Amino acid sequence: MRPDPHELGTYLREAEAIARAGGAVLAEHATRLAEMRTEFKGRRELVTEADRATERAVVERLLARFPEHAVLAEEGVLTPRGLPHRASEWTWILDPLDGTTNFVHGIPFYCVALALAFQGDPVLGVVHAPALGHTYAAARGCGALRNGAPIQVSATADLRDALLCTGFSYNRNEPGRDDNSARLARVLPACRDLRRLGSAELDLCLTAAGHYDGYWEMYLMPYDVAAGAVVVQEAGGRVTDLDGGQAWLHGASILASNGRLHDPLRALVGPAPRA
């Protein structure tokens, strides 16, 4: 059974409105960064009042509009952290503030990311970046949009011409963790250049829009990638884990590209880290 495209279109419109409501909460909090309370979830990973207030605003709207759907949200304000709050074929996956470190430092590269999965497969994604004025939206079989205009991946066909992007885990130097430095050292000489901007969901959207030709990262959670990955796929790109499989949502590694560069980039980046 596949979701009905008309139904998905309705859900997408609702998701855009809800993500923008979350973005309005972020924008309000951005005006008073100096007085905002900031905490640590780990040695480097931050969480703020803005994360929690945005999650509360988005989840309340989701539960009111879709009471039969499950919600999986990052911060655990109204639902169990990192777990769906109920069983359902439909699950909303929410990151209320992807790019918290950027937000805290006044860097405008952050977003609200909202995806909808059907039977565990993400089929809809909205990534709203209020400080940038960009809203990326996509639904399975419907294409990808930025601010209502179609987007597509780049046509770059040679790695030496590619602008690529990656990210680094907050737990990068803990025992047994791959800090990505060896991969970076292999890829950098082979491409035009590399970027690291600090929001996985927006990195995926920039790949979808053809600004980047490819992106990889490790140690991510479903709410870090679900929405942006749908945008990449609907923009004509390819998304896998670092082993070339489809475990990118829960497998903690992701590689997204314009498709043409996917296999050579995956060979250069190397396989997913082993436990």
DSSP the chain: ----HHHHHHHHHHHHHHHHHHHHHHHHHHTTGGG--EEESSSS-EEEHHHHHHHHHHHHHHHHH-TTSEEEESS-SSS-TTS-SS--SEEEEEEEEETHHHHHTT-S--EEEEEEEETTEEEEEEEEETTTTEEEEEETTS-EEETTEE--------GGG-EEEE---TTTTSTT---SHHHHHHHGGGSSEEE--S-HHHHHHHHHTTS-SEEEEES--HHHHHHHHHHHHHTT-EEE-TTSSS-TTTSSEEEEE-STTHHHHHHHH-SPPP-
CA 143 to each of CA 124, 159, 253: distance values in angstroms, whole numbers, following the listed order: 10, 26, 24
CB 257 within 8 Å of CB 265: yes
Tokens representing 86? Answer: 């109920």
CB 226 within 8 Å of CB 122: yes
Dist CA 124 CA 8 (whole Å): 7
Q: What angle do CA 95, 96, 101 make, to 5 degrees?
A: 90
pLDDT given at position 1: 65
pLDDT given at position 228: 98
- Of 58, 210, 32, whose CA–CA distance to 128 is shortest? 58
pLDDT given at position 167: 96
Q: What pTM was estimated for this model as a whole?
A: 0.94
Enter the CATH code of domain 159-269: 3.40.190.80
CB 249 within 8 Å of CB 227: no
* Blockwise average pLDDT, block size 10, the chain, 275 residues: 81 97 96 69 63 94 96 84 86 96 95 97 98 98 97 98 94 79 97 97 98 97 97 98 97 96 98 88
Name the residue ranges covered by the structural domains of the chain.
5-150, 159-269
Q: What angle do CA 144, 149, 152 make, to 5 degrees?
A: 45
Phi-psi region of 262 (alpha: psi -120 to 50; beta: other; left: phi over 0): alpha
pLDDT given at position 168: 93
* Encoded amino acid at 256, one letter: A
Question: What superfamily does domain 5-150 belong to in CATH?
Answer: Fructose-1,6-Bisphosphatase, subunit A, domain 1 (3.30.540.10)
Strand partners, 48: 38
